[in-house]
């Protein structure tokens, strides 16, 4: 019997590519390309910093990857547009089924656990339509380590005061769901993009197209 449902934020509950619109406002027709490079570099940069043991919070990484993405796409970032695009990251849209599914899991302990620094993840969740359903928001910044290192999942577990097997963790990100499975949580891969399974000896327990699959666990 699972005691807490723990959700990754970026790409799982919130669509990181909803910044496309704001990108398009500043850089017409480049929104798609900028948003894609932005996310790729964001992942690349926090992986790298974790490996090099040079932790910096996620907001700095998000800013540096935005700068890279704009240069890569020939877009001249100004102080004003940078601020607007960073602000857009605090107002990402929810995937369409999220609010409804979470409202049906009212009797569960619902937690967001993200690599996002508190200054990013707290306003994002707080301003969103699921704010009332979420019991706790945890940031890996609390331990200055990024998922998928074991220390990050350990931190979340300690904060929740639960055993590994009491926790069901959900993520759309292959590296995150693999990391959480490797650590020992129950895991459900929310495979929104219909990605191919990784060729690993570590696999998520179940796989769903979107969060609706979770209603089976009720």
Tokens of 40: 């790729």
CA 195 to chain centre: 17
**Cα 100 off chain centre by:** 19
* Minimum CB–partner distance for residue 150 and a copy of itself (Å): 6
Min CB(151)–a copy of itself separation in Å: 9
- Collapsing DSSP to helix, strand or coil, 4 comes out as strand
Residue whose CB is less far from a copy of itself, 11 or 148: 148
Binding-site ranges for a copy of itself (CB under 8 A): 41, 44-45, 47-48, 50-54, 64-65, 67-68, 71-72, 146, 148-150, 175, 178-179, 182-183, 196, 198-200, 202
- Residue of 8, 15, 59, 176 marked catalytic: 8
Kindly state the smallest distance separating residue 39's Cβ from a copy of itself, in Å: 15
- Alpha carbons 55 and 47: distance in angstroms, whole number: 10
Work out whether strand 14-15 and strand 109-114 pair parallel, antiparallel, or are unpaired. unpaired
Minimum distance, C-beta of residue 129 to a copy of itself, in the bound complex (Å) = 33
Which residue number, 87 or 175, has a Cβ lying nearer to a copy of itself?
Answer: 175
User: How, if at all, do strands 14-15 and 93-94 pair?
Assistant: antiparallel
DSSP-assigned letters across all residues of 62-121: HHHHHHHHHHHTT----HHHHHHHHHHTTSPEEPTTHHHHHHTTTTSEEEEEESS-HHHH
3-state secondary structure (DSSP) of residue 188: strand
Active site residue 8: yes
10 or 183, CB closer to a copy of itself? 183
Of 49 and 212, CB closest to a copy of itself? 49
Active site residues: 8
């Amino acid at each position: 019997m699972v005691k807490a449902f723990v959700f990754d934020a970026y790409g799982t509950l919130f669509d990181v590519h909803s910044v496309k619109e704001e990108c398009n406002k500043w850089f017409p027709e480049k929104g798609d390309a900028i948003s894609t490079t932005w996310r790729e570099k964001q992942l690349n940069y926090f992986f790298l910093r974790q490996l090099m043991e040079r932790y910096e919070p996620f907001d700095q990484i998000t800013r540096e990857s935005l700068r890279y993405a704009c240069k890569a796409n020939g877009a001249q970032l100004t102080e004003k547009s940078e601020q607007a695009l960073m602000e857009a990251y605090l107002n990402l849209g929810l995937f369409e089924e999220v609010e409804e599914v979470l409202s049906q899991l009212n009797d569960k302990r619902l937690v967001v656990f993200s690599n996002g620094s508190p200054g990013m993840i707290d306003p994002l969740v707080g301003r969103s339509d699921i704010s009332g359903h979420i019991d706790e928001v945890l940031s890996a910044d609390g331990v200055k380590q990024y998922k998928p290192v074991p220390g990050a999942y350990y931190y979340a577990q300690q904060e929740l005061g639960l055993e590994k097997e009491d926790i069901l963790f959900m993520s759309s990100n292959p590296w995150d769901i693999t990391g959480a499975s490797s650590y020992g949580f129950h895991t459900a891969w929310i495979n929104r993009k219909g990605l191919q399974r990784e060729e690993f000896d570590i696999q998520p327990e179940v796989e769903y197209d979107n969060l609706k699959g979770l209603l089976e666990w009720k």
